[in-house]
Amino acid sequence: MTVAGPHFERAPICNDQPSILYAWGRNAPELHLPEGVGFKVGGQTNIQYLVLQVHYKGQLGPDYSGLSIESTVEPLTKRASTLLMVTGGKLPPNKRETFETACIVDEDIEIHPFAFRTHTHRHGEMVSGWVVRENEFGQNVWELIGERSPLLPQMFQSVNKNITIRQGDVVAARCVLNNKEDKEFTMGNTSDDEMCNYYLMYWVLGDPAHLAAVKYHAAKLNGTSSSTRKASDGVFDTRRGDNTCYSPGPPEYHWTSEAELNNIPKV
């Protein structure tokens, strides 16, 4: 349980590292996976349990919370997974701030995004995701995966267009938050905190032993680095089961300095 204040005993969602499959909020419509796409669970996979977590803001009436899942034992041609892109950081009082994270695909595999979801708390204005590549002149080319206001129904929305992400590409996400209050907010899990989340749902062809491994590092796209930050500070690796791309957020982390990205889309 995660609540504001010390009144309840707290515990992690899972004893081991969790991996987010799906999330929903704000009365969004249901999700239907593309034909032939499914999440592989149980057996020899790293997903041995399905855990449902529900966040409550207030009592609204009888509680019928739940999730309906369709399952099959027949093999599917496309295996799905969800990458969570998330930041830490602080939102200063009376300031509009950007929260950014970026990971580089380190695995020789093709990733096909098909849906995305955005999430912040009440200060969010826009959450966007891109795939970033470097052209022959050393300029970054940003291809929009999808963006959405986090204050709209928090659904998994179809991506902007068909995109294939390959080894060496960077996946990047940005949240724009606007704090008009006279107090600072920290990224956290309770309603008294803020959040910056971008969920990217994708499929890969076949049934590889692992789906992808994406490392975050303060580096140029050509792989050089001027930072001493460890690659393990932000790792997206389904072999570990976390599937998370993390940055510490502002004031410590920004694309221009830590990730050395350029030609960044304007807010």
| 132, 169 contact by CB (below 8 A) | yes
| 101, 216 contact by CB (below 8 A) | yes
Which DSSP symbol is given to 152?
A: S
Q: Would you say 119 is a known binding-site residue?
A: yes
Strand 244-247 relative to strand 78-87, pairing: parallel
Q: Would you say 55 is a known binding-site residue?
A: yes
Distance from C-alpha of 250 to C-alpha of 91, rounded to nearest angstrom: 8
At 256 the three-state DSSP class reads: helix
First-to-final CA distance of the chain: 35
Q: Would you say 121 is a known binding-site residue?
A: yes
At 215 the three-state DSSP class reads: strand
Distance from C-alpha of 196 to C-alpha of 118, rounded to nearest angstrom: 8
At 233 the three-state DSSP class reads: helix
Among residues 86, 93, 84, 55, which one has the least CA distance to residue 196? 86
Binding residues: 55, 119, 121, 195
Binding residues for Cu(2+): 55, 119, 121, 195
